[in-house]
Structure 1
């Protein structure tokens, strides 16, 4: 492509559309009349509790099953090694990798469960603070209304 052709194509493209920024996005959803605005993130304690419980159950159940799989695999690997099978060393390697991977999953599920428990407690404290602040404002308003004779 020659330089002149490049310049001509750039000029044509500039003439066809503005140089403003265009963001690709989904069109806004029509309002359902439910009163919630698009884009607001809402979560309740029931949702958090369900996620935390699921993470705790996964941690507990996987920990038990994972330990059984590890012990069985290592026992089989030992038996194969003593009988001179090369597969024994390979199975032992797989069992070692299994230990690393299962520990990572157990750590992650414990972190999720613990973090959600912490979040639940922190938000409960925030709710107490906010309700205390709002009730004190209502008390002040009532006092001002009494003075005005309303």
Structure 2
């Protein structure tokens, strides 16, 4: 089944709020070899003006993953995950993610393109905090390889 071009323009319901935990931030920071003390030490983060440890920028994918799961589970999407290659990832921040944030994410599919038998699905996830203020937008390009002959 090819990727459904009618995904373009679709917006999915907001995810359940995700509470950013201090230990999750620390674990992620260690996993990506982040060495800035604000990523690991609450006192260093507070000295830098934050309420708690600051997540490395790519931590946003943890929140985005929930929206991508919605997209991949969509019955009419036509996306076979075994054929997906992650083509691109971008982030636009209004502010850093900090432990204690309660984040909600909403996915929109701005484009679905077909190129040489493959499809490229652009997934844009807007992440907001408990007050509704924008925190980060993540944009992923998912390349769905076409069927082999």
Above 0.5 in TM-score?
no
TM-score, structure 2 as length reference: 0.21
Structure showing greater Rg: 1
TM-score, structure 1 as length reference: 0.21
